[in-house]
Amino acid sequence: MIRVGLIDHHLDNFHTNIFIDLFANELKSEEIQFTFAYETDPADPEKDWCAENNVQRCDSIAEVIEKSDALMVLAPDNIDDHLTLAREACCSGKPLYIDKYLANKYDEAKEMLDLCKQYQTPMISSSSLRFCDGVEKVAADLSAVPTSMFARGMGTWPWYACHTLAPVLRLMGDDLAGVIHTGTEDVTTVTLKYKDGRTALIEVRDAENMWEAFGWSFGVKVNNKITTFEPGDHRIFYGNMMKEVARFYQTGQSCITPSMLETESWLYQAVSDSLAQGNQWISR
């Protein structure tokens, strides 16, 4: 049994709850147990999430690190806190998963990556949509390198675009030449240009009714044919991601490399920079 320590802004959030449920049910055979936890800002001070989930509450991040076999930094709604929450874990030498993506600012993500390299801490991070049913089926059937791709999703770039971006980086790769944001604050339209000339178009829209009106949809072009897909059931893609996390905890190996994480982190910063600079190309 691998004892996992949780480090979070507030433990009572959707991601923490579905992860712990998956490992107690569909993924029980993986023998991953959320055993220790620390949170900086409980969502409800009157509610004891740890007691309800049979998790030992710790008084500090250091205590979680000391007692755990592997670590998980969550804070899916508080990405700006990731560096503060993860810094000690990056120096621990223990397998570390950071939820969704590393940071909105490249220098913060780079600090985490550099610390992990310095202290030989295995680390991965990912949106669950990298492992959604649609992507898995396309990836399994790929007969050639995709020549282009489009991805549409909801939310704002620094908060939710990771889910729209993840399938693109999974299928198209991360060998980027540059990026340009051609939209506005409300409508993010991003073109990725690869070093070999391939392109991907990403569209992210924010609205009050975005969940009903603007779901995720993707299309990938291979051998002059376009295949479209949607993410599929959320419990499946969360489960697929947690299977990869379990394999990572068990072996220290993952399909997600530090190079991929650095490119993704660069993209979050570069897209914001492109908009701020009047929709200019930002070179990788």
Dump pLDDT digits (tens) for 212-264: 888 899 999 999 999 999 999 999 999 999 999 999 999 999 999 999 999 99
| Beta pairing partners, 178 | 193, 283
pLDDT of 107 strictly over 90: yes
Dump pLDDT digits (tens) for 146-183: 999 999 999 988 889 999 999 999 999 999 999 999 99
Residue 20: which of 9, 6, 39 has the closest Cα? Answer: 6
pLDDT of 85 strictly over 90: yes
User: Which domains does the chain carry?
Assistant: 2-126 (3.40.50.720), 129-232+267-283 (3.30.360.10)
Torsion of CA 33, 261, 100, 90, to 10 degrees: 50
Dump pLDDT digits (tens) for 197-215: 999 999 999 989 998 888 8
- In the numeric block, the tokens 């959604």 are attached to 132
Q: Write down the pLDDT at residue 239.
A: 97
Strand order through the sheet with 217-222: 225-229, 217-222, 148-154, 199-205, 187-194, 176-181, 282-283
Q: Write down the pLDDT at residue 58.
A: 98
Q: Write down the pLDDT at residue 228.
A: 96
Q: Write down the pLDDT at residue 46.
A: 84
Per-residue CA distances from 55 to 38, 167, 239 (Å): 10, 33, 21
Dump pLDDT digits (tens) for 30-65: 999 999 999 999 988 888 999 999 999 999 999 999
pLDDT of 117 strictly over 90: yes
Given pLDDT bands bounded at 50, 70 and 90, which one contains residue 281?
very high
Q: Write down the pLDDT at residue 263.
A: 95
Angle at which helix 106-118 crosses helix 258-276, to 10 degrees, equals 160
Q: State the average pLDDT over residues 125-129.
A: 97
